[in-house]
Amino acid sequence: MNNSIAGFSKFTKEEKINWIANEYFTNPQEAIAIIKQYWNSNEAVQKLHDEFIENTISNFYLPMGIAPNFLVNGKYYTIPMVIEESSVVAAAAKSAKFWSTRGGFKATVLSSEKIGQVHFIYKGEFEKLEIFFKTIKTKFYSETESITKNMQKRGGGILDIELRNKTTELENYYQLHATFETKDSMGANFINSCLEQFAKTLVEEAQSFEPFSEEEKGIQVVMSILSNYVPNCIVRAEVSCKVEELAEKKIENPDEFAAKFVQAVKIAEIEPYRAVTHNKGIMNGIDAVVLASGNDFRAVEAGVHAYASRKGKYSSLSHAKIENGIFTFWMEIPLALGTVGGLTSLHPLVKMALEILGKPSAHELMQLVAVTGLAQNFAALRSLTTTGIQEGHMKMHINNILNQFQTSDEERVIIKKHFENNTISHAAVVAFIENLRK
């Protein structure tokens, strides 16, 4: 078997599938059937999906769920979530319902700056480079006017451009550090286009700057690229109520629950091993809405985790306190999101998700995403500090086990009835299925 191949990208879709099936599977026809089973029956929709990426052979489906009853800034929202993990949507919906009778969620966008950088090498006197930068700074704006014109009409554009000296960390290394406002678009293409023009202007203008020596004129641009670290694109989400109002069926002693909850958050603030799992729970909610809304969850993840480490140690994104009998749980998080451009106008389910959310602006989407992350975190911490995380999770996970063993409807009724009052584990469910089938 030779798994290397030349010219694969030039193959037709059928040829690619046939090659994969024949090269990697003992039963090629079965592999082809599975691949084609997930094609969309609507040819136009399938063609759209095929063109999102290269070398497409099929669609990889994830469940899309709904979490209703989110009361955010006095208005009810239903949140679409795309995720495969058991109990995440249920937990978000449960949190939403809990807080809907306790004042709901408050969310505020604190700032929405995005960042891009031109990284370059300059061998010469810094003082000359500073003078050069000040001399040509206005040209960075004027020579990107054709790119920024439409964005400026929407109230966005280039906010500022700075020269940064990084030579103490890397020899001869400098940056143009630019900040942008991109309004309702995520703005990656806009920012990168501006940066590439900055780089061109920088190199060309250096050639005719008389104070520079010949070596100083030879500015070398290494790369021009936006940053997914957005510490000035921040949204705050919070919930609060009187401690006694936390009481419910599983919280019989609200004072004890609130104190334990705050301690759990403080542990995540100081212990990185706990903080990573704590923040992963937050991202269960955030990623699910980011995916549903057609945004880039990898960019969001990278930026969020960098932000969690901004003080030199990885720490909790959320915080909690009790003051004057009031329990408050909150989070400030960087989220660079868009509601126009990219998949938002292409993917039919993304368009539907944004409709469900009420066609939000980018700022509104930031608020809704942050709130879902906070709701998810509250649900996890409530479980951890009361019944434990496994009870609810395993109740949802049992469906995966039943599907794995292709149980019949009759078997499912018997199995679920048995585990209403017995501890659920993978081994216990498998053993019960095997006994049942004997």
Same structural domain, 259 and 372: yes
Active site amino acids: 85, 280, 296, 393
Query: Residue 405: its pLDDT value, please?
Result: 84
Q: Rounded to 5 degrees, what are φ and ψ at 354? A: -70, -30
The whole-angstrom separation of Cα 173 and Cα 168 is 9
Same structural domain, 220 and 307: no
Confidence of residue 414 (pLDDT cuts 50, 70, 90): confident
Question: Which residue reads 């930031």 in tokens?
Answer: 366
Structural domain total, the chain: 4
- CATH number of the CATH domain containing 262: 3.90.770.10
Same structural domain, 278 and 296: yes
Same structural domain, 248 and 154: no
Query: Residue 248 carries which DSSP code?
Result: B
Sheet containing 106-109: give its strands across: 106-109, 234-242, 326-334, 318-323
Query: Residue 423 carries which DSSP code?
Result: -
Same structural domain, 400 and 336: no
DSSP-assigned beta bridge partners for residue 175: 119, 164
Record the tokens describing residue 438, joined without a space. 């004997």
Q: Work out the angle between the directed axes of helices 188-207 and 145-153 (0-180°, nearest 10).
A: 150
Query: Residue 124: its pLDDT value, please?
Result: 96
The whole-angstrom separation of Cα 104 and Cα 100 is 5
Biggest CA–CA distance in the chain, Å, is 91
| Mean of pLDDT values over 25-35 | 97
Same structural domain, 246 and 216: no
Is the pLDDT score of 2 beyond 90? no
Contact partners, residue 199, CB within 8 Å, separation at least 6: 118, 120, 176, 221, 224
- Average pLDDT in the chain: 94
Is the pLDDT score of 390 beyond 80? no
- 1 occurs within a structural domain: no
Same structural domain, 376 and 243: yes
Q: Is 303 exposed, middle or buried (0-12, 13-18, 19+ CB in 10 A)?
A: buried
Q: Rounded to 5 degrees, what are φ and ψ at 327? A: -90, 130
Query: Residue 387 carries which DSSP code?
Result: T
Same structural domain, 255 and 354: yes
Same structural domain, 327 and 360: yes
Is the pLDDT score of 182 beyond 90? yes
Query: Residue 430: its pLDDT value, please?
Result: 86
Same structural domain, 246 and 103: yes
| Mean of pLDDT values over 370-394 | 85
- 409 occurs within a structural domain: yes
The whole-angstrom separation of Cα 80 and Cα 82 is 7
**What range does the domain containing 39 cover?**
8-50
Task: Tell me how far CA of residue 270 lies from CA of 139, 151, 265, 282, 288, in angstroms.
Answer: 47, 42, 9, 17, 27
